[in-house]
Amino acid sequence: MPCEPRPTVSVYTGDRGLLRPLFDLAEDSPTQLDAYLADGTVLVAECDGEVVGHLQLVTAKPGVLEIKNMAVRPSHQRRGAGAALVAAALDAARGERATVVQVATAAAARGCEAASLQSTGMAEGVYRAVGFRDLGRILEYAPRG
């Protein structure tokens, strides 16, 4: 069931620490998250006045923006919040005259639990639905911690 009315998306200017539980849904490493939490622009999706998702958009290099972290609360997945966040990010990228928006998705390293793999599959579906295409796979080791 979609969020009624449609999720509203806005730029978040508050304390990002308050959004950390959402960031944690998409980042396994607290150390990695600490390194980029303050970067870029954060968009939030709200349903009925409640923040249910976020998307962090950072400059990767001139003309290239990256969706660094994105998550929607499990209770609100498949209700349009993720699609609304990605659409707003693409609008912002056009406004900044970016020529590329990139995103990297990954399964959680916590033993590759089924829920983590499912979440990654849903995220990839959202991106593909708005025109992202797979440009390859990168294997990377990120120590926990």
Asked if residue 64 lies in contact with residue 102, where contact means CB atoms within 8 angstroms, the answer is yes
pTM of the entire structure? 0.79
Residue 83 counted as domain residue: yes
Residue whose entry in the numeric block shows the structure tokens 């968009």: 43
Token pair recorded at residue 45: 């999706």
Residue 138 counted as domain residue: no
Selection from 34, 35, 17, 27 nearest residue 106 by Cα: 27
For 71-89, the pLDDT digits (tens) are 999 988 888 898 899 999 9
Residue 125 counted as domain residue: yes
Q: What pLDDT does residue 105 have?
A: 65
Give the range of the structural domain holding residue 63, as residue numbers without chain letter: 8-129
Domain CATH for 119: 3.40.630.30
Residue 137 counted as domain residue: no
Count of the separate structural domains present in the chain: 1
For 5-59, the pLDDT digits (tens) are 678 999 999 999 999 999 999 888 899 999 999 999 999 999 888 999 999 999 9
